[in-house]
């Protein structure tokens, strides 16, 4: 193992809250890895932050009626807080709007520029004549040339992950005005990835140890051949290009955002020491390993484009690994921010307080490490109740409770060991190395499964040694049994810490163990973590059973949110063609009073009304039985068409038509006069 690690977790756009897909894809695995490295005694800088430039920010600002700065301030604060509450142990959670980031990115750009690392090119770019703006990245949408996704962005198709340029999109249109863009010439600076390809091929090719999903994606892009990519944009929100006469141009967000990891490191040191002195150790020292945790949609940027910019600059180390995960789906559907199909972290923390580790556990147990996976609330409940409560919690509780009961709440000394005791201790000693191997190879699901196996070992040990029976005849033997059970629990607390930090802390509190020191992992596996005679704390439950009602509420909430969202995005029906006044005046619209109402037999839609129209009583049929009961209609005044030709419906004649307004959600509303009028009143 290297002695020093710079670990980054994806810079998320500060344009919305965090959901479980982000957590499962990147932040939980990154946090497990970092906590493990610290426990192992390595030097780590764990950096992340919000990406506050780029088109998604300005689009969100427009939608919320705020300035881009107000949007990023709002979401930065919210995101930072929910990560902290969830126990993601960043050394720094920074943001790309900080001056240190602007300076770092501009200097980085300038260095490459001065080395002739860019190709300056005037080209035709799409321009929206209505909005009077060039259409970079997400300002333009069209059909993906690779997978035919009709909603591919100008910089990337989110369905197939391909990095695109706007010119590659078929049937492009502006997301600003919806108009078809025109081509207009503009000057930009390109990173000549085509020229750099041999070097990039060599770099990626030397990392056959990368996860197969990551390595495979890189290889397929390299095989297609890299093209020069513009590192500047014609936009007004972003970091100014540090060259003369470049008003209205900013650095491409995927050029400067990963540099955000570097400026975050500086930000961390400045916050800690008042100066960024020493930052280069984390970015330029060959003994430092750089590891990027991201979701699969960012693979191309972290494995090809960012390393290429680092190569072009020349003085940096390159990422040694990019353990990207695939996507996590939710209840049978893709997680979608725009459709509000997500479990939001800040809401989870509020609605299920104290259950951070349950979510960490479920997201890791189902982590989309090699293929897409799925989160369901039922599975969440099952994993909590039958794994965390029934296995982990049960073992710890028995060990602590029985120690209080039989051993006066103190760690008893071990006597002579049976063969089974020795086997159990030998097995215990093997666990930390097995878990370490899984974590070091980014197999966090496996690491977590092993951790649960250690809890199972504890349960099995107590079940087979039966201290509650033995106590009747042999108290000395019970001392040995409880000592071993407690040592297993103590080890469990150490190897749990990276995965379930809140639980590990509570467990250590019960055991009276203080094992949070850096390097504590080295002592894991030992059977003397708790010295003889040490006092054990009070027993309390580590996990609580989750009832059906809690789960049902969450599922209902999800469906309600989705429905609300669908309704909110619904637009009113298009207007019909213009008619002349004469056409309108042919219609005889009247107010009538409903005298009688009944269901039409054998029809679930039709109601039959007897309406007082001022002349006589007429029968009108109306297909509204799903919306109104006959009883609630009687006595109401309604608007109806009085001169519609009679129609036969289900064998009955209808003389007119009652008018209704259809609401957004499809429900119907009667059109009633605002005060009672005489039956037969005409409408004009």
Residues lying near Zn ion in the complex (CB under 5 A): 144, 146-147, 149, 157, 159-160
Tokens of 117: 């690392």
Which strand (E) or helix (H) includes residue 199?
A: helix 193-205
d(CA 149, CA 586): 49
Residue 149 or 522: the one with the smaller Cβ distance to Zn ion is 149
Tokens of 110: 């300038």
Q: Is 492 helix (H, G, I), strand (E, B) or coil?
A: helix
Neighbours of 547 (CB within 10 A): 11
Residue 163 or 504: the one with the smaller Cβ distance to Zn ion is 163
Task: Provide the edge-to-edge strand list for the sheet that holds 152-153.
Answer: 152-153, 140-143, 170-174
Residue 158 or 517: the one with the smaller Cβ distance to Zn ion is 158
Tokens of 462: 């107590």
Residue 146 or 649: the one with the smaller Cβ distance to Zn ion is 146
d(CA 112, CA 466): 70
Q: Closest approach of Cβ 131 to Zn ion, in Å?
A: 25
3-state helix, strand, coil in the chain (%, to 5): 45, 20, 35
Q: Closest approach of Cβ 654 to Zn ion, in Å?
A: 52
Q: Is 141 helix (H, G, I), strand (E, B) or coil?
A: strand
Q: Is 293 helix (H, G, I), strand (E, B) or coil?
A: strand
d(CA 123, CA 186): 6
Tokens of 243: 């060259």
Q: Closest approach of Cβ 149 to Zn ion, in Å?
A: 4
Residue 164 or 291: the one with the smaller Cβ distance to Zn ion is 164
C-beta separation of 293 from 210 below 8 A: no
Residue 145 or 415: the one with the smaller Cβ distance to Zn ion is 145
Phi/psi of residue 510, each to 5°? -70, -35
Residue 173 or 184: the one with the smaller Cβ distance to Zn ion is 173
CA atoms within 13 A on the CB side of 66: 13
Residue 144 or 551: the one with the smaller Cβ distance to Zn ion is 144
Cα-based distances in Å from 518 to 39, 500, 614, 627 = 5, 17, 90, 66
Q: Closest approach of Cβ 319 to Zn ion, in Å?
A: 25
Contacts of 148 (CB under 8 A, 6+ apart): none
Of 596, 593, 633, whose CA–CA distance to 614 is shortest? 593
Q: Closest approach of Cβ 217 to Zn ion, in Å?
A: 13
Q: Closest approach of Cβ 153 to Zn ion, in Å?
A: 10
Residue 160 or 650: the one with the smaller Cβ distance to Zn ion is 160
Q: Is 357 helix (H, G, I), strand (E, B) or coil?
A: helix
CA atoms within 13 A on the CB side of 363: 29
Q: Closest approach of Cβ 152 to Zn ion, in Å?
A: 5
C-beta separation of 250 from 233 below 8 A: yes
Q: Closest approach of Cβ 293 to Zn ion, in Å?
A: 24
Residue 156 or 654: the one with the smaller Cβ distance to Zn ion is 156
Q: Closest approach of Cβ 166 to Zn ion, in Å?
A: 14
Residue 159 or 339: the one with the smaller Cβ distance to Zn ion is 159
Q: Closest approach of Cβ 163 to Zn ion, in Å?
A: 10
Of 258, 308, 285, 317, whose CA–CA distance to 47 is shortest? 258
Residue 372 or 437: the one with the smaller Cβ distance to Zn ion is 372
Report the DSSP beta bridge partners of residue 46: 7
Q: Closest approach of Cβ 573 to Zn ion, in Å?
A: 32
C-beta separation of 139 from 175 below 8 A: yes
d(CA 572, CA 579): 20
Compute, in degrees rounded to 10, the torsion defined by CA atoms 431, 441, 345, 386. Answer: -40
Residue 148 or 555: the one with the smaller Cβ distance to Zn ion is 148
Q: Closest approach of Cβ 10 to Zn ion, in Å?
A: 20
Q: Closest approach of Cβ 292 to Zn ion, in Å?
A: 23
Taking the alpha carbons at both ends of the chain, their separation in whole angstroms is 86
Tokens of 409: 């709440």
Tokens of 180: 């078809």
Residue 26 or 144: the one with the smaller Cβ distance to Zn ion is 144
Tokens of 177: 């005005």
Q: Closest approach of Cβ 156 to Zn ion, in Å?
A: 9
């Amino acid at each position: 193992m290297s002695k020093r690690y710079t670990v980054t977790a994806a810079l998320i756009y500060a344009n919305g809250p965090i959901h479980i897909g982000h957590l499962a894809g990147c932040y939980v695995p990154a946090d497990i890895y970092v906590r493990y490295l610290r426990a192992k005694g390595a030097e780590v800088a764990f950096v992340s932050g919000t990406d506050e430039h780029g088109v998604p920010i300005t689009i969100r600002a427009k939608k919320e009626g705020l300035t881009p700065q107000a949007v990023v301030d709002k979401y930065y604060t919210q995101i930072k807080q929910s990560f902290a509450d969830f126990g993601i142990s960043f050394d720094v959670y920074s943001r790309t709007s900080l001056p240190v980031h602007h300076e770092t990115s501009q200097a980085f750009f300038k260095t490459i520029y001065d080395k002739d690392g860019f190709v300056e090119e005037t080209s035709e770019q799409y321009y929206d004549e209505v909005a009077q703006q060039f259409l970079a990245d997400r300002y333009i949408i069209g059909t993906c040339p690779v997978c035919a996704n009709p909603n591919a962005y100008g910089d990337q198709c989110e369905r197939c992950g391909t990095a695109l340029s706007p010119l590659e999109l078929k049937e492009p249109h502006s997301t600003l005005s919806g108009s078809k863009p025109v081509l207009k010439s503009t000057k930009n600076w390109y990173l000549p990835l085509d020229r750099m390809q041999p070097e990039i091929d060599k770099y990626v090719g030397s990392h056959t140890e990368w996860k197969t999903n990551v390595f495979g994606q890189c290889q397929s892009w390299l095989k297609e051949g890299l093209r020069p990519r513009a590192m500047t944009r014609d936009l007004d929100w972003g970091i100014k290009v540090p060259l003369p006469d470049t008003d209205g141009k900013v650095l491409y967000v995927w050029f400067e955002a990963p540099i955000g990891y570097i400026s975050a490191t500086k930000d961390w040191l400045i916050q800690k020491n008042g100066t960024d002195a020493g930052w280069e150790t984390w970015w330029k020292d060959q003994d430092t390993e750089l590891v990027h945790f991201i979701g699969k949609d960012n693979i191309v940027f972290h494995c090809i484009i960012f390393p290429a910019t680092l190569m072009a600059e020349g003085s940096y180390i390159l990422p040694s690994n990019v353990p990207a995960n695939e996507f996590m789906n939710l209840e049978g559907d893709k997680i979608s921010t725009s459709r509000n199909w997500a479990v939001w972290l800040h809401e989870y923390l509020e609605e299920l307080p104290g259950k951070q580790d349950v979510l960490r556990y479920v997201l890791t147990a189902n982590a989309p490490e090699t293929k897409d996976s799925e989160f369901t609330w039922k599975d969440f409940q099952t994993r909590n109740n039958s794994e965390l409560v029934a296995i982990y919690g049960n073992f710890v509780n028995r060990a602590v409770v029985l120690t209080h009961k039989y051993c006066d709440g103190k760690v008893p000394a071990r006597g002579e060991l049976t063969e089974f005791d020795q086997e159990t201790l030998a097995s215990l000693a093997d666990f930390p190395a097995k878990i370490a191997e899984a974590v070091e190879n980014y197999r966090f699901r496996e690491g977590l499964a092993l951790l649960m196996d250690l809890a199972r070992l504890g349960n099995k040990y107590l079940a087979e040694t039966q201290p509650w029976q033995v106590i009747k005849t042999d108290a000395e033997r019970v001392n040995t049994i409880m000592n071993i059970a407690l040592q297993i629990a103590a080890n469990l607390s150490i190897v749990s810490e990276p995965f379930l930090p809140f639980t590990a802390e509570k467990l250590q509190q019960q055991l009276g163990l203080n094992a949070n020191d850096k390097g504590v992992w080295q002592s894991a596996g030992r059977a003397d973590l708790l010295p003889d005679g040490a006092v054990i704390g009070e027993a309390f439950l580590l996990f609580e059973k989750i009832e059906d009602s809690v789960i049902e509420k969450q599922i209902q909430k999800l469906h309600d949110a989705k429905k609300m969202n669908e309704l909110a995005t619904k637009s009113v029906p298009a207007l019909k063609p213009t008619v002349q006044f004469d056409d309108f005046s042919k219609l005889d619209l009247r107010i009538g009073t409903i005298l009688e109402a009944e269901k039409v037999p054998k029809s679930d839609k039709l109601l039959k009304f007897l309406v007082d129209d001022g002349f006589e009583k007429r029968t009108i049929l109306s297909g509204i039985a799903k919306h109104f009961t006959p009883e609630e209609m009687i006595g109401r005044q309604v608007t109806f068409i009085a001169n519609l030709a009679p129609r036969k419906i289900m064998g009955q004649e209808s003389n007119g038509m009652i008018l209704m307004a259809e609401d957004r959600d499809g429900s119907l509303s009667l059109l009633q006069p605002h005060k009672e009028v005489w039956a037969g009143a005409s409408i004009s």
